[in-house]
A = this chain, B = another copy of it.
Amino acid sequence: MEQTKAQLNAKDKQFVKEIADIEENFAQWYTDVVLKTELVDYGPVKGTMVIRPYGYAIWENIQREMDERFKATGVKNAYFPLLIPMSYFTKEAEHVEGFAPEVAVVTHAGGAKLEEPLAIRPTSETIIGTMYSKWVQSYRDLPVLMNQWCNVMRWEKTTRPFLRTSEFLWQEGHTVHASEEEAMEETMNKLALYKEFAENVLAIPVLCGRKTEKEKFAGAVATFGMEAMMLDGKSLQAGTSHYLGQNFSKAFDIKYLDKDGTLKYGYTTSWGTSTRMIGAVIMAHGDKRGLVLPPRVAPIQAIIIPVAAHKGGVMEKCAEVEDLLKKAGVRAETDIRDMSPGWKFNEWEMKGVPIRIEIGPRDIENGVAVIMRRDTLEKTTVPICGIDNAVAELLKTIQKDMLESSRKRRDAKIVEADSLDGILQGVEGKNFVKAGWCGCRECEDKVKEAGQATARVMCDEEGVPEKCAVCGKPAKHKVIFARAY
Contacts and interface: CB of A to CB of B under 8 A. Distances in A.
Contact of A78 (B53, B78, B105, B134): B53
Interface residues of A, number: 55
Interface stretch (A149-157, A185-193, A396-404, A439-447): A149-157
A107 B130 CA distance: 26
* A43, A78, A88, A101 pick with most chain B CB within 10 angstroms: A78
Contacts of A49: 81
Contacts of A53: 76-78, 146
Contact of A107 (B52, B102, B107): B107
A88 B48 CA distance: 16
A169 to B, nearest CB: 6
A153 B82 CA distance: 9
A26 interface: no
A297 to B, nearest CB: 15
A111 B107 contact: no
B120 A111 contact: no
Q: How many copies of this chain does the complex contain?
A: 2
B109 A107 contact: no
A106 B103 CA distance: 10
A408 interface: no
A341 interface: no
Interface string A47-91: 011111100110110000000000000001111111111001000
A300 to B, nearest CB: 12
A41 interface: yes
Contact of A130 (B44, B82, B118, B153): B44
A207 interface: no
A323 interface: no
A370 interface: no
B131 A85 contact: no
Contact of A79 (B51, B77, B102, B104): B51
A232 interface: no
A108 interface: yes
Contact of A109 (B105, B127, B130, B146): B105
B57 A77 contact: yes
Given A78-B56, A167-B81, A107 B108 contact: yes
Interface in A102-140: 102-111, 117-118, 120, 127, 130-131, 134-135
A45 interface: yes
A79 B105 contact: no
Given A53-B76, A76-B53, A81-B43, A110 B106 contact: no
Contact of A131 (B41, B59, B81, B88): B41
Contact of A83 (B41, B45, B102): B45
Contact of A50 (B50, B79, B110): B79
Nearest to A338: B140
A386 to B, nearest CB: 29
Contacts of A108: 104-105, 107, 117
Contacts of A41: 131, 134-135
Contacts of A106: 104-107, 120
Contacts of A105: 106-109
B130 A85 contact: no
A398 B120 CA distance: 43
A72 to B, nearest CB: 13
A49 to B, nearest CB: 7
B118 A45 contact: yes
B83 A48 contact: yes
B51 A78 contact: yes
Interface of A: 41, 43-45, 48-53, 56-57, 59-60, 76-85, 88, 100-111, 117-118, 120, 127, 130-131, 134-135, 146, 150-151, 153, 155-157, 166-167, 169
7 contacts: A45-B83, A48-B83, A51-B78, A56-B76, A104-B106, A109-B166, A110-B156
Counting from the closest, the 7 A-B pairs by CB-CB distance are: A110-B155, A53-B76, A104-B109, A51-B79, A43-B81, A48-B81, A105-B108
Given A48-B83, A51-B78, A110-B156, 18 more contacts: A45-B84, A45-B118, A50-B78, A50-B79, A53-B146, A56-B76, A56-B77, A59-B79, A60-B77, A103-B110, A104-B108, A104-B110, A104-B118, A105-B107, A105-B109, A107-B107, A120-B120, A150-B151
